[in-house]
Amino acid sequence: MDPAHRALLRTHRLRLSGELLVSDTIVPLLFQEEVLSEAQVQDIESQPTDRLKTLRLLDLLPTRGPRAFPCFLRALDDFSWVRDGLLLELRSAPGAGATGENVRQFPDSVLQRVLSDRELSRLASRLGAEWESVLMDLGLSAEALFRCRSDHQLDAHGAVLSGLVQWRRREGRSATVQRLLTSLQAVDVHTSVLQDVLM
């Protein structure tokens, strides 16, 4: 997990433990997306109160890799005010201005357009081990990622490209450069990767 995301969860640990009810939707979604293991779910659910369940989840999340924070935010659909508050603080935190700078490196005409097949292929060849985290942040399910891997067991580029094409097909005109840029930044992929693709 990114240090800024870890610090944000630590700073708001007590407030989150008083506002969230994690058993109904948050923990099941994190388990479905393979952020939490079955043993960790049982550990969380064994806590005697909702507050302690949330605190236990917040203890576990920083150890669950780069996908943990974006998946956690997606799981907050029933607590949109909490998610919005976290995102607002993240954007206004010291050093967060780099995100704005990165966006400003691309003209609006580029940010709002949908990537071509050739650009998606070039991006697929440049994404490293973070490709699954990027696709998860773009909204692909764990099942869809599994199919990408199993259909292209000996071809990592093909697996990544398959996932990116699925995302573009599903999102249509919303599958923009700006949306992709947001997901790259969420999992700490430097925006120069996208700049190289669009050159």
Residue 64 and residue 126 in one domain: no
50 and 109 both lie in a single domain: no
Domain identity same for 105 and 48: no
Do 19 and 87 lie in one domain? The reply is yes
Same domain assignment for residues 105 and 156: yes
- pLDDT score, position 97: 43
Least reliable range by pLDDT among 28-37, 46-55, 103-112, 161-170? 103-112
Tally of domains in the chain: 2
Last residue of a domain, one of 68, 92, 116: 92
Q: Do 107 and 87 belong together in one domain? A: no
Domain boundary among 63, 92, 121: 92
pLDDT digit string (tens) for 74-132? 899 888 888 888 888 877 755 544 444 444 467 888 888 999 999 999 999 888 778 88
For residue 170, which of 140, 125, 136 has the smallest C-alpha distance? 140
First to last CA, the chain: 30
- CB-count burial class (<10 Å; 0-12, 13-18, 19+) for 91: exposed
What pLDDT is attached to residue 116? 92
Look at residue 110 in the predicted model and tell me its pLDDT: 86
Tell me the pLDDT band of 51, cut-offs 50, 70 and 90: very high
Q: What is the CATH number of the domain that holds 9?
A: 1.10.533.10
Domain limit, last residue, from 62, 77, 92: 92
pLDDT score of 155 more than 80: yes
Which helix (H) or strand (E) segment holds residue 179: the answer is: helix 177-186
Residue keyed to tokens 């120069």: 192
CA 2 to chain centre: 11
60 and 108 assigned to the same domain:
no
Using a pLDDT cut of 70, give the percent of the chain over it: 92
Q: Do residues 190 and 113 share a domain?
A: yes
Sign of the dihedral through C-alpha 151, 155, 161, 164: positive
pTM to 2 decimal places: 0.51
| 128, 76: one domain | no
* pLDDT range class, residue 28, cuts 50, 70, 90: very high
Token output for 160: 């990544």
Same-domain check for residues 111 and 68: no
Least confident of 47-51, 52-56, 86-90, 153-157: 86-90
pLDDT for residue 13: 87
Residue 67 neighbours by CB under 8 Å, 6+ apart? 33, 35, 132, 133, 136, 137, 187
26 plus 44 within the same structural domain: yes
> Same structural domain for residues 114 and 84?
no
- For 20, the domain range is 3-92
Tell me the pLDDT band of 199, cut-offs 50, 70 and 90. low
